[in-house]
Amino acid sequence: MTSALDDPIRPSSLPLESAPAVNPGLVMLALAMGGFAIGTTEFAAMSLLPYFSAGLGVDEPTAAHAISAYALGVVVGAPIIAVLSARVPRRTLLMVLMAVFGVANCLSAMSPSYNWLLAFRFMSGLPHGAYFGVAALVAASLVPQNRRASAVAKVMLGLTVATIIGVPVATWLGQTFGWRWGFAVTGLLALMTFVMVAAFAPKDRPDADASPLRELGAFANRQVLLTLATAVVGFGGLFAVYSYTASTLLEVTKVEPWVVPIVIGLFGVGMTLGTIFAAWAADKALRATATGIIIASALTLFAFPFSVGNVWTISLVVFLIGCASSLGVVIQTYLMDVAKDAQTLAAAANHSAFNAANALGPWLAGLAISAGYGFPSSGFVGCGLAILGLIMWLVTLADARRSRSG
């Protein structure tokens, strides 16, 4: 049986014959708006860490478990939703996911205690991976085969632009009016996404051959599993540093609070530029692009502890870490090549993998900080994870070569 993406013009969720013509640009804008909403709440939670930590009366390493709770929600939700929704039209699924996401973030803003915040952050993470996975497949289905990485990047640019605009704004709201507003603003963004997807996404019906069992076949594919393992380990380094960047700026670099959103915004600028470049490069040489990104990530993370004494040097390194954070687009596209008929589960599981990294990185960095090595030690933790990710990626490529030669 051929993969739905072997023919890029025919998505596995089939368009209705009577549906009006689709404008790919408007579809990708609608999908990117969802990425903007998700990126705002995911990364703002990290920059708001010092504020909801103080507001709920817990120390920062403990409060960081709320970040991990969101990530674990993605890890759990993405594969389960992908399997159970195998026969659900993609447009309908995207709308439902964004509705749940918006409600859960509004509940996060109203959390009466730290334990409730943990529960609502977990709930907020459940739709994340399935949304990005399905959105990436919809975007890729609208373009030729050799432009898939660029199509996926356009969806992911919503997330990267969120780190430039959404996260600084949410951080400012949290500083000015209280941390709860940093989560509440996501409800409005989710509503905007719901309306735009309803208006612009193509109406479709599921592939007649789609089934939960077929999607589960992704977990029997060694290339899929190795690729996901690369994402879990390799990307953990980014989150090890990013989760404690605001705290490092305030407590080590000793900047004024108003400087924090600016530096966080520089990370977003780097992430956006890196995603654009990575998409262009991956459409030409996907495997080499992924290798280069992981190496660059290890180098920039290693530089982080040496940059924290000065606002200019830490700003430069944070920008470069952002540039090296574009691995997601490349991995997403590679999974399209190796997932065969389990495209939805593989695409969604990619985001489970990255959010497993989001749980792993802050936890390991938190252990180093709690052990007395200080906030800068997160950079060494991150570098170690990136090196392990590089090793895993090289194993993945070697396995692919053995499979072809066999």
Q: What pLDDT, in 10s, does the model give residues 289-317?
A: 999 999 999 999 999 999 999 999 999 99
CB-CB neighbours of 57 under 10 Å: 10
Find the helix packing angle between 24-47 and 167-177, rounded to 10°: 40
The fold adopted by the segment(s) 21-201+210-405 is Growth Hormone; Chain: A; (1.20.1250)
**Domain limits, the chain:** 21-201+210-405
Sign of the torsion angle spanned by Cα atoms 32, 342, 332, 246: positive
Alpha helices, DSSP H, located in 85-127: 90-109, 114-125
Hey, what are 328's tokens? 């997601």
- Rounded Cα–Cα distance for residues 4 and 12 (Å): 5
Asked if 201 and 138 count as a contact pair (C-beta separation under 8 A), the reply is: yes
Q: Please work out, in degrees rounded to the nearest 5, the angle formed at the alpha carbon of residue 173 by the alpha carbons of 170 and 177.
A: 150
Residue bearing tokens 């023919």:
7
How confident is the model over 148-161, as pLDDT tens digits?
A: 888 888 888 898 88
* Residue 272 neighbours by CB under 8 Å, 6+ apart: 157, 160, 161, 163, 164, 322
What is the spatial distance between Cα 46 and Cα 116, in angstroms, rounded to a whole number?
18
Residue closest to 396 by CA, chosen among 280, 239, 233 = 233
Positive or negative torsion for Cα 14, 17, 19, 22: positive
| pLDDT tens digits in sequence order for the chain, 406 residues long | 333 333 333 344 555 544 456 788 899 999 999 999 998 988 788 778 888 888 887 887 788 888 888 878 888 888 888 878 877 888 899 999 999 999 999 999 998 888 999 999 999 999 998 898 889 888 887 888 778 888 888 888 898 888 788 888 888 888 888 888 888 898 889 999 999 999 898 887 766 565 566 667 666 778 888 999 999 888 888 889 988 898 899 999 999 988 888 888 888 889 889 989 998 998 888 899 999 999 999 999 999 999 999 999 999 999 999 998 888 888 888 888 887 767 777 778 887 888 788 778 888 999 999 899 999 999 999 999 999 999 999 999 999 888 776 5
CA–CA separation, 78 and 72 (whole Å)? 10
DSSP 22: P
Cα torsion 153, 133, 105, 362 to 10°: value is -80
b/e for 205-221, b at 16 or more Cβ within 10 A?
ebbeebeeebbebbeeb
Can you tell me which residue has the tokens 């051959």?
209
Rounded to whole angstroms, the Cα distance separating 364 from 204 reads 43
Non-local (6+) Cβ contacts of 71 within 8 A are: 125, 239, 355, 356, 357, 358, 359
State how far the Cα of 390 lies from the Cα of 100, in Å rounded to an integer.
35
d(CA 125, CA 38): 9
